Structure 1
Amino acid sequence: MKVKVYTQNLEAAGETDLNPKIFEVKPSIELVQQAVRVQMNNSRQVSANTKTRGEVRGGGKKPWKQKGTGNARAGSIRSPLWRHGGVTFGPRANRNFELKMNKKQWRKALYMVLSDKAAGNNVVVFSDLSVEKPKTSEMVKLFRDVTDKVVKDSKKFLLVLPKNDENLRKSTRNLKNAKAIAADSLNIIDILSADALVVPQASLPIIEKTYLKV
């Protein structure tokens, strides 16, 4: 698949080929859905935690004798039946929501979401991208130009960097509608969430080297 290459000023700079093994893969909704579910579950942070009757402080003494008071029998003031008592079947911090997916399936799902973006002409390749110093306004202008001239109505952008370019990363991180990510650290949810992928040409061989397994 051939796509246009642009300069940083959005002027035409020729064409480049996208590897069909990555960018022309037939989609499977079920496989992509599975990959999304696995990623979401594995990134879930479990913080809610309740105490059982054995963990709540106090309650060691029997509140009143077993018989003769007329009250219902009780063995501890920390019973789940009591106010300030333990919780029965409450959430625990040791819950494990982790799911597994083999690497071959995950790579195929990644190819599918990249192929979907390429098929919709939502992969914008630049000959080079750079800024002299971190400057958010530079990236705002770039993304606005992408929306006006290439991917119409795009609101969210994923910038795929070939290397750890701190200037570009810092110029992007204050933008709610954009995210910068390394070419060798792609993930499915970020790609699906973006309307347009902004890719410097140097990122393409890194994507192939990292994710394309013969």
Structure 2
Amino acid sequence: MATIDVFDLKKNKVAEMSLDDAVFNGEVKEYLIHEAIKVQLANRRAGTVAVKNRSAVSGGGKKPYRQKGTGQARQGCIRAPHYVGGGVAFGPQPKVYNLSMNKKARKAAVRSALSMLYKGNKLSVVNAFDLPSISTKSFVGVMKAFEVDKTLVVLDSPNANLELSARNVKHVKVVKADQLSVYDIVRYNNIILTEAAVRTVEGVLQS
């Protein structure tokens, strides 16, 4: 069974804990990580871009002039695409980009991403992440103690002091353990979890 050191906020080792091999020390399946990220990013797309075609442009209820005798090319409607203010031909229309991935595969992808960070020594565990007050300076001090910059902080429950202290720090995101996603794990170079968050993640990601 995999083990990891547990630190306080000054990076002093205070304990050691075991990790579920299936969640943190399993096989890294890169194809699942790629698929999960593709699905997540596709589902973020709004797909609401649209332009008016000739049927949606107002006006042009009759021929602009008679068919013959004017010396000009025949025209049927001023809403045609070649007229200024006319409809757009073959323009973009609303589209649904949503993709799906079954629940078992999603969990396997998150487990693979966590295992990748654990095996790369990019995963740290703290006994608790309690800041006495809202202080960006205190939070940055913790990041410096752990020598990390682009970091995902995972909590087991809401923590207002921490969330408000971290919100103005670049390349840092605070999430709850049950909201963990593959995209967030891969996007950040390091991940810091509380002891309680580790157990929550293990419970959520049981196969």
Instruction: Quickly name the TM-score band, shorter chain normalised.
Output: over 0.9
Q: Distance in 1 between matches of 2:43 and 2:139?
A: 31
Contact 2:30 2:112 in 1 (8 A): no
Partner of 2:24: 23
The one-letter code matched in structure 2 to 1:144 is K
Q: CA deviation at 1:25?
A: 1.7
* Paired residue secondary structure (1:14): strand
Say how many residue pairs are matched.
206
Partner of 1:9: 10
Partner of 1:47: 48
* Paired residue secondary structure (1:160): strand
Greater shift in the superposed pair: 81-90 or 156-165 = 81-90
Unaligned segments of structure 2, at least 5 residues: none
TM-score normalised over the length of structure 2: 0.95
Q: Distance in 2 between matches of 1:136 and 1:48?
A: 39
Q: Distance in 1 between matches of 2:115 and 2:53?
A: 50
Greater shift in the superposed pair: 53-62 or 123-132 = 53-62
Greater shift in the superposed pair: 185-194 or 201-210 = 201-210
When residues 135 and 61 of structure 1 are mapped into structure 2, their CA distance, relative to the original with a 3 A threshold, is farther
Partner of 1:151: none
Q: CA deviation at 1:29?
A: 2.0
**Structure 1 residue runs of 4+, over 3 Å off?**
none
Partner of 2:37: 36
Q: Distance in 2 between matches of 1:45 and 1:136?
A: 34
Cα deviation code 1:16-59 (max 9, x no counterpart): 11110101121222221111110100111223211111111222
Matches within 5 A, 1:175-186: 175-186=169-180
Q: Distance in 1 between matches of 2:31 and 2:143?
A: 32
Cα deviation code 1:67-104 (max 9, x no counterpart): 211211212111112222111221223x0000111111
Matches within 5 A, 1:1-214: 1-93=2-94, 95-147=95-147, 154-213=148-207
The one-letter code matched in structure 2 to 1:146 is F
Q: Distance in 2 between matches of 1:125 and 1:36?
A: 25
When residues 8 and 155 of structure 1 are mapped into structure 2, their CA distance, relative to the original with a 3 A threshold, is closer
Cα deviation code 1:179-210 (max 9, x no counterpart): 00100000111100111101111101111222
Unaligned segments of structure 1, at least 5 residues: 148-153
Q: Distance in 1 between matches of 2:57 and 2:7?
A: 64
